[in-house]
Amino acid sequence: MYHYIQSEAIKENKYMDQRENLDLSKAEGFDWDSGNVNKNRLKHDVDTSECEEVFFNEPIIILDDTKHSSEKEKRYRVIGITTDGRRLALAITLRNNKIRVIMARNQSKKERELFEAEQNK
Q: What is the pLDDT of residues 68-102, one digit of tens each?
A: 888 898 999 999 999 999 999 999 999 888 999 99
What range defines the domain where residue 60 resides? 3-119
Q: Is the CB of residue 78 less than 8 Å from the CB of residue 65?
A: no
Q: Whole-angstrom Cα distance, residue 92 to residue 102?
A: 5
Q: Could you tell me the end-to-end alpha-carbon distance of the chain, in angstroms, rounded to an integer?
A: 14
- Residues whose CB is less than 8 angstroms from the CB of residue 116 and which lie 6 or more positions away in sequence, other chains included: none
The number of domains in the chain is 1
Q: Is the CB of residue 98 less than 8 Å from the CB of residue 29?
A: yes
Looking at residue 48, its pLDDT comes to 93
Residue type at 38? Answer: N
pTM of the model: 0.80
Q: Is 115 exposed, middle or buried (0-12, 13-18, 19+ CB in 10 A)?
A: buried
Looking at residue 10, its pLDDT comes to 36
Looking at residue 21, its pLDDT comes to 62
Residue numbers in the chain where pLDDT is lower than 70: 1-21
